Structure 1
Amino acid sequence: MPPMLPARQFSALRLADVLSSCHAAVLGRENALALAVVAKAVVVLVDGLGVSSLRARAGHARYLTSKLTRAGVVDTVFPATTAAAITTLTTGVEPGRHGLVGYRALDTANDRVVNQLSGWDDGMPPETWQRSRTVFERAAADGVPSFTIGPKRYAHSGFTLASLRGALYVPAESISDRFAAARALLDTEPRALVYLYVPELDVAAHAHGWESAKWLAALEALDSAAGRFASGLRRDEGLIVTADHGVLDVPATKHVLFDSVPELVAPVRHIGGDPRCVYLYLDETPGDSEAEAATALAETWREVEGDRAWIFTRAEAVTAGLFGTVDDEVLPRIGDVIVAARKAVAYYDSREPNQSARSMIGQHGSLTDEELRVPVIRDGAFGA
């Protein structure tokens, strides 16, 4: 029987350290990344730029790969998904504390699964569902203005209100326009913490795969814009380019319709997570404790899918520290049983009315190196 959890050593430096260290650097304080003191710091978050993909296309990203060092490879959070990872970057704490523990998670108060990128409503207010103070809010308290630069469509989203609160949102549509907006802020602000979001690579990967011409064009546009921006940095300005997760391509022939095996879904009330990191939330089972029911379902899944997925209970994941410290309020948001793909497969429920997700090629969420390992590239005053 394959191991319940992968035997891997997570990186000492964490995604949670990146923005927090930049904040400290602007204040002239020691920080986890040992960044130099600066007046202005820019953090570029490239959605979906894993280290393995970047290295595989090194000839198309000469600026980024020239700055990527062995020490500049870190692990993102588990699950390796945008809602969890970006919120960890912007709060400096792991998912078990900020509460965005996956793409779709259980809202127990309303007995429903909610999409934590686009499913915000009055029943899931972003101001309280995301439980941690952001780095931007802490910077404001220290007298340091913060700015978020991204596409206009995200300016007032629930996710922005949850995870980017405390920063002034500056809309800019293209990658080059966003870097131009960052330069304008650096030219006018005596001190600043700037967060710049690049969704284009993730969008291209989901639709066409990371090995597609569309993804490659987005990478080239990013590399060109980032290189030009870095060349104009002044002595008191620091730059970090990082990512929330990596991506691997999963063809439709590798989709697993798990509901075709009745035993895998018989005791399940709700299904959440991602196709590569499925959360199974159980119905109450008369006569069995919650832990016994979860263990029994996990064993059933291991018998059927144990050769291509890591399968573990919530209790096992929390004990292993996969979510960091998990606060009591957050615990029920995590699946009773978690199915994390380790082969190039994606898990789907064919009973789901909306099957549009099955058109995705680029996938992420699990514990493989392709999904977990992301760059932390330093330049300007941070690269010295």
Structure 2
Amino acid sequence: MLNRKPDYERDNLTNLMASIGLAFGRKPGRYPALDSGCLTELDQAQHVVLLVIDGLGYRHIRRNAQGGVFNAYLKGSLTTVFPATTATAVTTLMTGVAPQQHGLTGWYMRLSDQDNAVAVLPWRRRDGETPAGLAQELHTALPFVEGLEVDAVAILPQNLTASAYSRAYYGRSRMLGYATADQCWDQIENTIRMAQRRSFVQVYWPRLDALSHQYGVNSPEVFTHLMELDQAFYDLLQRLEGTDTCVLVTADHGFIDAPEAHHLSVHEHPDLARCLRSPLCGEPRAAYAYLNAGSEAVFDELIATRFQHCVESVASETLLQAGWFGLGNAHPELKHRIGDRVLLMKDDWIIHDRKADESGFNMIGVHGGVSADEQMVPLIAARV
């Protein structure tokens, strides 16, 4: 099977969150903490800042930020969850559990009582409608901060502070929005310096992800922004000096670039499309196929004979049983939400389809797959 699956037993985002929980007095849970001694910066810290830079891959840092501040404080790499995408991984960072428990499986997700796929992060159906009760159906995992005896603060772009997703998964956290980079760093410093007791501050930065999608992860635009973030991290450490704060930096996923010649469009292959009873869900690098009854053999034969150069098709149940989505008991809807087949894209290929009223796929940078560039994220830690 392609490349690597997440290791939820060690060096995973779930293990990072378990370590943060232990540092704040939470009892061990389903996911073990990082190895003892791996993150000594957390020990007895008065404040913890978790800065999540959307799309910041470990291998990207190693290739493009050598000699920078990120690399100076780099502890190593973590694996993200499967699939390697924001909807699954940021939810893990906000709940402390893998998709196996929180049940969110990608950008588009099919619910058992909905004929239309749901876009998880904006919390709306693919047809643009938002049915009553949708938020309650999607939100089942508890926010990570629930039960922690600390001040909880979430700092995120202003337009995200009131979203249904943010309200659900940041829980009781005090929401602070920012419109500029300077406002973001000011909010972090002010929060720490005004804290009256131990605090946990979650910060979300989406700009690198947006640039990587638009221009490609290897573009000058992304490199320039990476250097800006590296300098901003240095400045933040200087501003927090003497506050007894552990500043952690990680990401939800990394990136690869997908050339247009390696886009597999379902609507260009009618025999493939006829096997599907609904549009693909999940991600362009890891798509969930829902098959019409009786079409399984035809679909498998098509993939094996015509698309084997770019797709590995795996029975969804196989990945579920092998622990690709996490450890322990599964969310009651998880099996339905991953379809009949998972299409793992090889090399730098993607697969997509579209409804008649949707535009074509136009992103250069992509993620969601199982390559090391997508799966490996950094663990950066500093104590100031």
Question: Which category of TM-score, normalised to the shorter sequence, fits these structures?
Answer: 0.7 to 0.9
Match of 1:306 in 2: 308
| Partner Cα distance (1:20, 1:8) in 2 | 20
Judged with a 3 Å threshold, the aligned counterparts in structure 2 of structure 1 residues 156 and 9 are, in CA distance, closer, same or farther, namely closer
Match of 1:55 in 2: 62
Say yes or no: does 1:37 pair with 2:38.
no
Does the CA-based 8 Å contact 1:19-1:43 persist in structure 2? no
Query: Unaligned 5+ residue runs, structure 2?
Result: 37-41, 125-129
Does the CA-based 8 Å contact 2:105-2:338 persist in structure 1? yes
| Partner Cα distance (1:7, 1:201) in 2 | 24
Instruction: Identify which of 277, 284, 289 aligns with 1:280.
Output: 289
Judged with a 3 Å threshold, the aligned counterparts in structure 2 of structure 1 residues 62 and 29 are, in CA distance, closer, same or farther, namely farther
Say yes or no: does 1:217 pair with 2:232.
no
| Partner Cα distance (1:7, 1:86) in 2 | 20
Match of 1:256 in 2: 264
Match of 2:199 in 1: 192
| Partner Cα distance (1:178, 1:276) in 2 | 32
Give the AA of the match of 1:374.
Answer: V
Aligned positions of 1:101-120 closer than 5 A: 101-120=105-124
Match of 2:163 in 1: 157
Say yes or no: does 1:344 pair with 2:351.
no
Q: Offset at 1:124?
A: 5.3
Give the AA of the match of 2:7.
Answer: F
Q: Offset at 1:295?
A: 6.3
Match of 1:76 in 2: 80
Give the AA of the match of 1:23.
Answer: G
Query: Unaligned 5+ residue runs, structure 1?
Result: none
Report the number of matched residues.
Answer: 364
Identity rate, percent: 27
Does the CA-based 8 Å contact 2:154-2:176 persist in structure 1? yes
Q: Offset at 1:174?
A: 2.4
Say yes or no: does 1:91 pair with 2:98.
no
Match of 1:373 in 2: 376
- In proportion to residue count, which structure has more helix? 1
Deviation string 1:318-377 (CA, Å, 9 cap, x unpaired) is 011111142222221112111121211121225553125x22111001100010000011
What secondary structure does 1:335 align onto?
coil
> What is the TM-score of this pair, normalised by structure 1?
0.88
Judged with a 3 Å threshold, the aligned counterparts in structure 2 of structure 1 residues 295 and 173 are, in CA distance, closer, same or farther, namely farther
Does the CA-based 8 Å contact 1:249-1:363 persist in structure 2? yes
Deviation string 1:197-248 (CA, Å, 9 cap, x unpaired) is 1101001011111122221222122111111112334363111100000011
Judged with a 3 Å threshold, the aligned counterparts in structure 2 of structure 1 residues 122 and 162 are, in CA distance, closer, same or farther, namely farther
| Partner Cα distance (2:359, 2:246) in 1 | 43
Deviation string 1:7-52 (CA, Å, 9 cap, x unpaired) is 6673722101223422331338787134311221000000000011
Say yes or no: does 1:321 pair with 2:330.
no
Match of 2:255 in 1: 247
| Partner Cα distance (1:126, 1:366) in 2 | 27
Q: Offset at 1:263?
A: 3.1
Deviation string 1:271-291 (CA, Å, 9 cap, x unpaired) is 2112111111223x2xx5xxx
| Partner Cα distance (1:219, 1:124) in 2 | 39
Match of 1:202 in 2: 209
Q: Offset at 1:302?
A: 2.8
| Partner Cα distance (2:300, 2:143) in 1 | 35
Give the AA of the match of 1:138.
Answer: G
| Partner Cα distance (1:111, 1:28) in 2 | 40
Pairwise CA RMSD: 2.2
Q: Offset at 1:305?
A: 2.0
Moved more, 21-30 or 367-376: 21-30
Aligned positions of 1:282-297 closer than 5 A: 282-283=291-292, 285=293, 288=294, 294=296, 297=299
Does the CA-based 8 Å contact 2:193-2:243 persist in structure 1? no
Deviation string 1:248-285 (CA, Å, 9 cap, x unpaired) is 111222211133233322221222112111111223x2
| Partner Cα distance (1:298, 1:157) in 2 | 40
| Partner Cα distance (2:100, 2:297) in 1 | 21
Judged with a 3 Å threshold, the aligned counterparts in structure 2 of structure 1 residues 264 and 123 are, in CA distance, closer, same or farther, namely farther
